[in-house]
Structure 1
Amino acid sequence: MKPVFRFAPIFLTAVMASASMAAPRPMFTPAQLATCDGTGWAGLMLGQTSFKDIRARYDTGDGAFERSTQLTQPKNSGLRVDCLWNKVGQDEVLSAVALRYTGVTPSSDQLQQAFDPEGNQGEALYYSGRYEDWRVVRFPQRGVTAFQLRQGENYSTPLLVLSPPNSLASLSQPLVHEETPVEERIDPMANEPKIGQFGEIIIDFVGKETDVIPPYVRSDLRDDLRDANAGGTLRWSRGAAGYYRLRVTGTDSKKKDNGSFSVTTEIQAQGPYGPVSVTGSGTDRWKNDDGHPPSYAFDRAMKEARRDAELKFENAMLASGPPTLEAVREGHWRDLVTLLRSPQVAAPVGVGTGPTGPVQVPGF
């Protein structure tokens, strides 16, 4: 009689359960943005949806903002969705949703049709001290804030933020209704030499294998590092905040007649545009019977590590400069998003109406 394998159904059940547990979570499906009514959008409820809810329901990634989570979208979707969280009790609760358009952006007309069809709610606000022609348009009843950048005669909308309607009042302090001039940025450090300063020298010889390096070689090393200049971009200065670190490790044979040295270097120095930090490395072998003593191998490894780090430092210092205009604008936008995500209580105001048919811009 053939044996009966009674464990087979149990085994298959376990395999099926394991496969079910390993199934990927679905991607988030955006809804028409005209349905955003200040309480939520596409099942994301402001002040209610928690971080745990999102992680259980959707495939997620690292957020673009502090304390945020990306809701994964198909490649080339043209839209990035980030959930922004605030701590409420023991939970992280949804405070705002940021929509970043990476392809075609919604036009001002589309925003008007979706959030303000009667044309009496949208408010254009401007920032004093802007270096590009950008503005913010808020729709208070819908809890929608559009960050717009002028391109020719029209405005594009790279970023939309959905938040409780009463959070939009926070924009009144840094922004104004009157259109402000686009200013020319002046670099206050333009005439400053691109030189980084360091005041501390740190030298570490690690392990007994480095004992073969003669004392006179070690004593000269500190003076050598004080003279480091990295093509004229680096300078030792007593009391400066930066440092030059050199770390030496070694290996040797059982007979102590050959071995190697590894040297790592790290330079951190303050330049006119902020700190510059680089690392370098070098290695070399030594052998007593071929005229290649330990001190010679150490010198070669040390010089290689210094050349590596100092060339990197020179290139980084010469390339340093003020932040780009785009980076400055993005910094201002992030500050405004921080205001919008401040803890607020969303009040239901009724679902809005707008276009619901298929369109090219995601969400419209």
Structure 2
Amino acid sequence: MAEPLALAQVPGVHSASGTVDRETVLRTTTSRTARIVLAALGWAVAALFLASFVIFFALHTLPGDPAVIIGGLDATDAQIEAIRAEHGWDRPLIIQYLSWLGAALTGDFGTSPFSSLSVTHELLTKLQVTVPLALMSLSLAVIFALLIGVYAAARSTTLAGRLVSWLSQLGIAVPTFIVGMLLVMYLATPLHLPSTGFPREGWGDPGAALRSLILPAITLAIPQTAGLVRYVRSAVLEQLGQDYVRTARAQGMSRRRALLTQALRNAWLPLLAVIALDAAALLMGTVVVEQVFALPGIGHHLVASVSTRDIVTVQGFLMVLSGAVILLMMLSNVASRLLDPRVRLR
């Protein structure tokens, strides 16, 4: 039978004998977990409402009247007023906002006045390109960043380790669109990969769809990998300098085993937030990459909607992107606090 936890391990919870009661520990841990999750949910909801307010009013106060664009140069004042009334743009902004927010909470982001298509339907269609692209890029970035970052940490005092650090700085500095163009120039033809576009049948042909995302995914992954390598290297080096690693080494553990079984395992916690931030950045970074590779994703459609002043589509897409970023931040915060015993037992 496992020994009861010592009193010092869970402050403030103990039995009459001076040791922690297992049921009490479970109740206390569950209560703390619930508080952490509820606090994160409260923050996420507040941030989402604030984002919706900023997005809506920022777009509706920009210069340019979509009613004039829809009506055209020959439209009369009466026709323009009729267009405003048809779309509800003649109402006070706060009323428009509350009406839009109420519909958005049910998943209805309205209908584009330019294409007459449901924004929600368009969004779901574009997500079929953007989400796989972001997931492929993030997977590549995390895998290669771990391999390269651990290698750089293990050889931090050698020329190879310093070279990795220098190359990671270069990878961060090079603009994404330049990386994309270089990959198209030097890899598309030799590897027989499509340089632009996405199959018309979409994921009906999975092989063709995946092939069309390879170069864009690599383009997005390169700067993300470069940034993550620096964090992995720093986090692993920090753990290698901790007392528990020194103790393990003094007891005969090899440096390689200490690095892989001790330092790397404990370096994951500070990296969680960084990976979540990178995932959020990837969603935003798809705007440039989808333009370079002519992919029909959220970023490509968002740029087209901005150019036509389609505020209904723009605010719907921005709201979903903001929600995704807020969700990633919330999950990162909850995971970090629940997995870190120093926070969990606080």
Answer yes or no: same fold by TM over 0.5: no
TM-score in terms of structure 1 length? 0.24
Name the structure where strand makes up a greater proportion of residues. 1
Name the structure where helix makes up a greater proportion of residues. 2
Query: Of the two structures, which has the highest relative contact order with CA contacts closer than 8 Å and spacing of 6 or more?
Result: 2
